[in-house]
Amino acid sequence: MFNTPHLLDQLVSLTGIRDLELLESSLLKTLNGFILPSVLTLYKVSSRGEIRSQLVFGPERCTVIRENFQVQPELMQAFREHRASEQGSLQLALADCILSVMTVMESRSSTTYLVIGSQQSLREEDNRMIGGMLQIYRNFCQLLQESQTDSLTGLANRKTFDECFSRVYELQPLDEEECAVAVEQRKPHQQTTYWIAMIDIDHFKSVNDRFGHLYGDEVLILLAQLLKNALRNDDLVFRFGGEEFVLMIRCQDRAEAAGLLERLRASVEEQVIPQVGHITISMGATEMMRNTFAGTLLDYADKALYYSKQNGRNRLTFFEDMESMGLATRETAPSENLDFF
């Protein structure tokens, strides 16, 4: 029999979390406490069958892997079979263990699978317990997602930006001992930087005035879709309200960030929207600095956006370029004794 009070304690802990990534780690920790598997991993797989990330449970912490995946061909085939079937669980016998594959979450763009490895097949009561916990997890995730997304576009909202701002640095943690979720380290030559970009639709008010707010909403929905399709797995996009959007992008350097944003600007300009025709966007961007408040970085990006608006629209401006031209100044960095993240 399961330890019911302990199970209830774990569920209370699970539903007290408001961060989806930490929620995944808590799910694995809870499951590990009851079934003690040899393997316990969450796989996020795109609709094209490509691995996006792995969350691997370990004795000290969970580890996020975002590249250089090592996945057995048999497991990839099991993912495809499980997605096509309606089975609750699919078992795969390997040389050293038996893997049980279950669907945790599913959307049009990706599916999250739970993979449990053990020396013997899971008991029926284990399967029932795991199935019940996954359903609780799904229900809670849906509530979290509804509170964290913009109802019109489906993008993350401003509240979510504030929560994600510090978490984005977990991709390169300063001190592994302070991280609840560890992330596989990159080699020095692969170190990345992060950039914030603010986006505003040019002459959006005239779209509403000429065609009505219904068409204005369609423009916002289409732009949100373009942004999501253009960005990579580790990039984040938010709607701040009105016609204003914010991106958090991970790039090797300034040149890569500029290239991505310019391609995005061009793709929006080329898009033909029924009745409305072509629209353009203006952008302002700045590098995310660890010793700078989120509000300050947003202010830098907003100043760069305003410069784009005042100088022809349909263009990208970096705050760093405004600095070099003497058009803007950076605030003095706060004391290193302050803890931002």
Q: Are strands 62-65 and 181-183 parallel, antiparallel or unpaired?
A: parallel
Residue 197, H or E segment:
strand 193-201
- Give the model's pLDDT for residue 260: 95
Average pLDDT (13-35) is: 72
Query: In the chain, where does the domain assigned CATH 3.30.450.40 lie?
Result: 4-148
- Give the model's pLDDT for residue 175: 35
Average pLDDT (333-338) is: 52
Taking all residues of the chain, what is their mean pLDDT, rounded to a whole number? 82
Q: Which residue has the higher pLDDT, 317 or 160?
A: 317
- Give the model's pLDDT for residue 84: 72
Could you list the active site residues?
Answer: 243
What distance in Å separates the CA atoms of residue 115 and residue 99, rounded to the nearest whole number? Answer: 6
Reading the block at residue 162, the tokens are 């504030």
Summarize pLDDT for 41-88 with one digit per residue, the tens.
Answer: 999 998 888 898 899 998 888 888 888 888 888 899 888 887 777 667
What distance in Å separates the CA atoms of residue 57 and residue 63, rounded to the nearest whole number? Answer: 7
CATH superfamily placement of domain 4-148: GAF domain (3.30.450.40)
DSSP string, 101-156: EEEEEE-SSEEEEEEEEESSPPPHHHHHHHHHHHHHHHHHHHHHHHHHB-TTT--B
Reading the block at residue 284, the tokens are 């302002």
pLDDT category at 160 given cuts 50, 70, 90 is: confident
Decide if 149 contacts 157 (C-beta within 8 A): yes
Length of the chain: 341
Question: For a pLDDT cut of 90, what percent of the chain falls above it?
Answer: 40
Enter the pTM of the model. 0.65
pLDDT category at 191 given cuts 50, 70, 90 is: low
Question: For a pLDDT cut of 70, what percent of the chain falls above it?
Answer: 83
- Give the model's pLDDT for residue 258: 96
Summarize pLDDT for 218-265 with one digit per residue, the tens.
Answer: 999 999 999 988 887 778 899 998 899 999 998 889 999 999 999 999
Query: In the chain, where does the domain assigned CATH 3.30.70.270 lie?
Result: 167-173+184-324
For domain 167-173+184-324, which CATH number applies: 3.90.470.10, 3.30.70.270, 3.30.750.24, 3.20.20.70?
Answer: 3.30.70.270
The lowest-confidence range among 22-26, 109-113, 163-167, 263-267 is 163-167
pLDDT category at 169 given cuts 50, 70, 90 is: low
Within 10 angstroms of residue 201's Cβ, the number of other Cβ atoms is 21
Reading the block at residue 165, the tokens are 């701002």
